[in-house]
Structure 1
């Protein structure tokens, strides 16, 4: 979960969000709207946020039935992925109450390959691979020893001790993923359903101590940690895309564009208080869930290697070798 408060927006200032420049667009008829939007989209150009909303509204509610029956019949699903991304980016540049329904519709019809989020989660999976666990044992022996004991006996650790372990783990993860260091805070939150959240404002992860996961299920808390840390990687990808460092040939090009539209525009992120299903199913959250879930599954699968000595962690059992 990301924190995107109005106070943070005001502090960051408008220069921290991407805004495209347009001449004022005014259309007297649907035909004019259709002609303008179609020509711009075919050329790969962005629309104003208002025009993108009007275009999608007509596409969703039969407005183009007489003008372009084929387009109307296919709907959003019939648009190319690039066109959907352009519309997403166009709408997201401006905060508007009506953005929600159009962003949700685009998310539903984005048509990403089934393994898209799994591919993006590979980095988190490999962090707890057998090979990397051996590397972590050599680099951070105290952390791995403490993590092993925490997983085996979570109730024997107090909040401060858990906080230290989680901070060290996130430090190692940030180095592994080449993202800035994140501060981990463990604090009581009234909402027991809130596992934690990430703040881009001060580069921090807050874990809720008022959850069963924090008290008794460290694997679940680690899933939350990686989920929230993944949001930091999303910001890094989004920034790299905005800086022109990620081109179309880059393996994370689509992800970077989606994260840029969600995280670095004024109106592209759906907060859970506005619509929980829209929040849950948007690219930034689906990606973070995939990363956290994959990391937790890998750690559970390879937990037995935490207690192995570094030089023997990868060796097979030779007891019956002749």
Structure 2
């Protein structure tokens, strides 16, 4: 089993490991020089590190640099920042219903996708639906591919909603693994049912060999899978055969035991290091998140 530590001291483990490696390298490269190391071995052969003033100064510089990155994320990071969403929200607020319909459609579509990327699913669906409702009135002014894109994005938004309500909030070791088995079928069905509606519409309207047709066909099959009604509910021309989800080669199945070990935390994917950080002959796990304001996590083996 693993336990999680939130003490700031625990987060210094990786930098300190780096110090050890650096000192080893330094000693090997300075032949004959008298270098005073701050690394000592205790009686039980566990490494003890006394931080020097330089170490502490370096640590503070690192903390300041990370804080600066965090503070600038919203404005400068195009993946995690909300600058674009804030700008379009302001445009929509100031424009009101008097602005041209094409402009309103454009801004609702852009804001819907931006909100979805920020994890604001309800707002994303709301604005993508507002854009969708304007499609009949702007159809002659907008490229067909943008119309298809709008419909597809709305379907994806609803599918994301279904994943959040089921795969994330009701996580099981089998969640989101294709082909979806009975224990991973969605309990809350609204997300997938709405997604199916828009994917079906797109399959009826988009050219058969277009990217929108192929994407919608794939996600339509997955959506019905999440409801436990694949392949029965799919018409033949939209059905992806069950054989497509099987392999001629044997692949080992790795059971997801993260819940049993207390490792099923929820954050943006980041980095991971597995090592024996506290020298008790058990492997420990250190994880980080892609989000600049997230806290690293250390799990010590028990």
Structure 2 length-normalised TM: 0.23
Structure 1 length-normalised TM: 0.22
Larger relative contact order, structure 1 or 2 (CA cutoff 8 Å, min sep 6): 1
Comparing both structures, which one devotes a greater share of its residues to helix?
A: 1
